[in-house]
């Protein structure tokens, strides 16, 4: 698989995985504040909690991207170094 395809798969997994934090944020806010789903401020509290989850996942995805980029660069340098014929 190519680098872009790997990143697309990771992004799809993260997007699908965001349903769990969304429902988790509803449960957390419901248990803490006894939310009323007809009140807009309750939905704003859920959105705020969900936003924090999104921020955390964005940081994790950025770390994964940085890791893959760095390891790809290092591996490519090693491959290039080994593939060059040694001069005597």
Q: At residue 63, does pLDDT exceed 80?
A: yes
CB 61 within 8 A of CB 10: yes
Task: Give me the pLDDT at residue 44, please.
Answer: 85
25 or 48, which is more confident?
A: 48
Question: What is the chain's mean pLDDT, rounded?
Answer: 79
* CA distances to 2, 10, 37, 42 from 26, in Å: 37, 25, 10, 9
- Distance between CA atoms of 38 and 50, rounded to whole angstroms? 18
Angle 55-61-67 (CA atoms, 0-180°, nearest 5)? Answer: 140
- Distance between CA atoms of 58 and 62, rounded to whole angstroms? 6
This prediction's pTM: 0.55
Residues 31-53 have pLDDT tens digits of: 766 777 788 887 888 788 778 88
């Amino acid at each position: 698989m190519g680098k872009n395809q790997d990143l697309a798969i990771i992004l799809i997994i993260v997007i699908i995985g965001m349903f769990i934090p969304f429902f988790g944020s509803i449960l957390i806010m419901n248990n803490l504040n006894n939310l009323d789903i007809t009140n807009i401020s309750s939905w704003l509290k859920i959105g705020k909690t969900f936003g924090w989850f999104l921020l955390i996942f964005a940081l994790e995805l950025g770390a994964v991207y940085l890791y893959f980029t760095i390891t790809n660069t290092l591996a490519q340098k090693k491959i290039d170094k080994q593939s060059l014929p040694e001069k005597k």
